[in-house]
Amino acid sequence: MHAAAATVPSCWDRAVSYGDGVFESVLVIEGIAPLWAFHRLRLQKSIQRLGIHCDIAELEKSFWLQAQQNSSAVIKIILARSGGARGYDARPAQDYTVQVKAYPLPHFSSGRIMEGVRLHVCQQRLSHNPAIAGMKHLNRLEQVIAASERPPGWADEGLMLDITGAVIECTSSNIFMLRENILVTPRLDHCGVDGVMRAVIMESIAADIPLPVQEARLTLAEILAADAVFICNSVFGVWPVCSIGVSQIKVQHAITGKIWQRLNAMGYARLYG
């Protein structure tokens, strides 16, 4: 038996057909979006790179209206190019469409902070495309395939490499390692998502720890030999890594604990029980 075909509104044609747009998942806690400035900046940079003509001020009003109605939630913003005729050429498509939707506030086990999380090394690789590297665009098929590889109940996240074998990120988070008292995170000039929490750590929190932070090409062997490893995103915060595949990783609470001092001040403790 076949389900009846759903009609896609024409304003979403380019999003559904081509992934022509970007999205953000913004944490709101008791009416406050602690990282909104970073999300807004990434949105603005991404639509400039894609050439989507959007009124950011109007989008921001829509976001805060949703935040007022859902004071503790994850609010997802989808912004897509729209208009024009059928076909790839974006030049005739001068309009845009926005969806702002609230999802329930997630809750995580505090064991993920104290004991660490386990990473599975994904077989799916990230392809290189500097033109869209760093953006959180709507075409995330590589992450969909990679996330589907994760062994249920065994791993918490999937570690993704690129086509050369360099470590880039996890399926829904960025990764840092500690090496000789330097925080190192993969370069994202060829592929990967320039995450909001990654930016917060690099631009603000690392200086408070205090530790220097660098971007570099990293191999899986270098990650496995690190003094400590942690992953991060704007929704769950920061999780130390205790294992990658069958390899054990030392959990360094001295580093992640200092980051959590900042995150707890932003309200992230609300997510853990």
Both tokens assigned to 178 = 């500690």
Say how far apart CA 201 and CA 126 lie, in whole Å.
24
56-69 helix and 36-50 helix, angle to the nearest 10 degrees? 140
Fold for 10-104, please state it.
D-amino Acid Aminotransferase; Chain A, domain 1 (3.30.470)
Q: What is the pTM of this model?
A: 0.93
Architecture, CATH, for domain 111-271: Alpha-Beta Barrel (3.20)
Categorise residue 272: left if φ over 0, alpha if ψ from -120 to 50, beta otherwise. Answer: beta
pLDDT in 10s for each residue of the chain, 273 residues = 454 455 656 778 999 999 999 999 999 999 999 999 999 999 999 999 999 999 999 999 999 999 999 999 999 999 999 988 888 888 888 899 999 999 999 999 999 999 999 999 999 999 999 999 999 999 999 999 999 998 878 889 999 999 999 999 999 999 999 999 999 999 999 999 999 999 999 999 988 889 999 999 999 999 999 999 999 999 999 999 999 999 999 998 999 999 999 999 999 999 997
Where do the CATH 3.30.470.10 domains begin and end in the chain? 10-104
